């Protein structure tokens, strides 16, 4: 029996909330998962899952079977409340800027407020703009003045604890990374951070590092921005090398032989719902200062158009070109199409009407109806131009003999 056994409410049962809730349940905590999606709640209560993630089905089944995990549409009283709801973005007034939308976090805070009691801990896991954890404190102070004395925020005048513990797991490896990754916990005060650390210690084998809430919020945004800036460097190199007739993958491989150089890989652009979004939260907070972060976003966002123009230019060689688009997901060996540059390029090619487009996505769901999909063999046989967009393992193994007569545009360097 876990001696720190708690009653925990997890609000938001998506890619972060559901693995976290079920992990806590398997460690002996009594967990109630809350979501506004009734179908998801019913699926989870029957021990099944509504999202795709390796091994999550096993974890959820065992959590539900143990009696420690239940799902519901409404919260209950508990010791700890974890918020893992989305932080989407709204488009800015001008240009490509994206403005963070924290309305789901605000709504989740309002939903739990009536159930809070003295001594409770509230943890924000969602990737959030700087200041969001403090905003949670303000909302609770407004709705529950009995728990927070808003007038003396700087002193430890609260009867509840509030902390930010940003999620860091990589889709496709969530269960392993949930246990193994180091975590950063930022408290509204030291006591909040320490209380959150005690809970995370019950399932996290990585180091746990304490700070204030604003630094923790910024650390998460910086992690994803760092990756975005580094990918932008690789994407910029790929365009420079194309102009100069140099193989960018050979070049990066050679440059990376230097002990202090580690260039990432170019691609058709940056996709997913984190790295292509979070840097904008920093730009929105400090527009005049975040010059490199903004430029990196612009470089990465411009790459799909560069690829599209390349395909269109090559297709003028053919009277009725057949263009095979290999991969639609935002990265290798997953099914996720959100913010995927491969999807954008394929859609734009179809709309441009330059030829017949044959798209192939080995991980597509049966429900995919936007345009027809083809088997890999069929595409390899019929296409004049092969556009490799995702480095799925199926494409890595293609017999190079079959590629000999084709025009190849390999955005991932798989067939280099």
Residues taking part in catalysis: 220, 274
Minimum separation from the CB atom of position 278 to ligand SAJ (A): 6
Minimum separation from the CB atom of position 415 to ligand SAJ (A): 17
Other CB atoms within 10 Å distance of the CB of residue 88: 13
Confirm if 141 and 122 have CB atoms less than 8 A apart: no
Minimum separation from the CB atom of position 404 to ligand SAJ (A): 27
Q: Which residues bind to ligand SAJ, rule: CB under 6 A?
A: 127, 167-171, 223-224, 227, 231, 264-265, 267, 270-272, 274-275, 330-331
**CB nearer ligand SAJ, residue 103 or residue 262:** 262
Minimum separation from the CB atom of position 252 to ligand SAJ (A): 10
d(CA 12, CA 37): 9
Minimum separation from the CB atom of position 233 to ligand SAJ (A): 10
Name beta bridge partners: 123.
Answer: 82, 163
| 150 φ/ψ angles, rounded to the nearest 5 degrees | -60, -25
Tokens of 329: 């997901």
How far lies 299's CA from each of 91, 230, 287, in Å? 18, 11, 17
Sign of the dihedral defined by the CA atoms of residues 131, 137, 140, 141, in that order:
negative
**CB nearer ligand SAJ, residue 89 or residue 330:** 330
**CB nearer ligand SAJ, residue 170 or residue 246:** 170
Pick left, alpha or beta for residue 55 (phi over 0 → left; psi -120 to 50 → alpha; otherwise beta). Answer: left
**CB nearer ligand SAJ, residue 160 or residue 169:** 169
d(CA 166, CA 309): 38
**CB nearer ligand SAJ, residue 195 or residue 331:** 331
d(CA 2, CA 223): 33
| 117 φ/ψ angles, rounded to the nearest 5 degrees | -130, 165
Tokens of 307: 């690829």
d(CA 140, CA 160): 10
């Amino acid at each position: 029996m876990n001696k720190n056994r708690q009653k925990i409410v997890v609000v938001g049962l998506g890619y972060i909330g559901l693995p976290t809730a079920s992990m806590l349940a398997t460690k002996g905590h009594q967990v109630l998962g809350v979501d506004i999606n009734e179908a998801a709640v019913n699926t989870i209560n029957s021990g099944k899952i509504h999202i795709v993630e390796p091994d999550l089905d096993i974890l959820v089944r065992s959590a539900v079977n143990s009696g420690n995990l239940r799902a519901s549409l409404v919260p209950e009283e508990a010791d700890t409340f974890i918020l893992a709801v989305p932080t989407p973005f709204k488009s800015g007034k001008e240009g490509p800027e994206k403005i963070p939308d924290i309305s789901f976090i605000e709504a989740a805070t309002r939903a739990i407020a009536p159930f809070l009691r003295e001594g409770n801990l509230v943890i924000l896991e969602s990737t959030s703009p700087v200041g969001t954890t403090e905003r949670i404190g303000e909302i609770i102070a407004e709705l529950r003045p009995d728990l927070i004395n808003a007038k003396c925020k700087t002193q430890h005048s609260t009867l509840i604890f509030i902390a930010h513990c940003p999620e860091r797991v990589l889709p496709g490896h969530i269960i392993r990374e949930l246990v193994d990754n180091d975590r950063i916990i930022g408290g509204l005060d030291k006591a909040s951070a320490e209380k959150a650390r005690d809970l995370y210690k019950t399932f996290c084998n990585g180091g746990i590092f304490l700070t204030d809430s604003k630094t923790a919020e910024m650390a998460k945004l910086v992690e994803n921005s760092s990756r975005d800036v580094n990918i932008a460097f690789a994407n910029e190199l790929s365009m420079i090398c194309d102009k100069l007739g140099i193989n960018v993958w050979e070049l990066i491989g050679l440059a990376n032989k230097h002990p202090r150089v580690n260039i990432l890989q170019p691609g058709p652009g940056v996709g997913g719902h984190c790295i292509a979004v979070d840097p904008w939260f920093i730009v929105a907070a400090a527009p005049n200062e975040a010059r490199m972060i903004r430029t990196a976003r612009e470089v990465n966002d411009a790459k799909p158009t560069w690829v599209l123009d390349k395909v269109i230019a090559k297709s003028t060689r053919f009277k009725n070109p057949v263009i095979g688009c290999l991969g639609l997901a935002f990265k290798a060996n997953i099914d996720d199409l959100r913010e995927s540059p491969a999807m954008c390029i394929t859609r734009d090619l179809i709309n441009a009407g330059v030829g017949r487009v044959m798209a192939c996505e080995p991980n597509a769901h049966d429900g995919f109806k936007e345009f027809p999909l083809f088997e890999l063999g069929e595409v390899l046989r019929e296409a004049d131009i092969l556009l490799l967009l995702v480095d799925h393992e199926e494409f890595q193994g293609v017999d190079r003999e079959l590629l000999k007569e084709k025009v190849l545009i390999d955005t991932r360097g798989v067939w280099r």
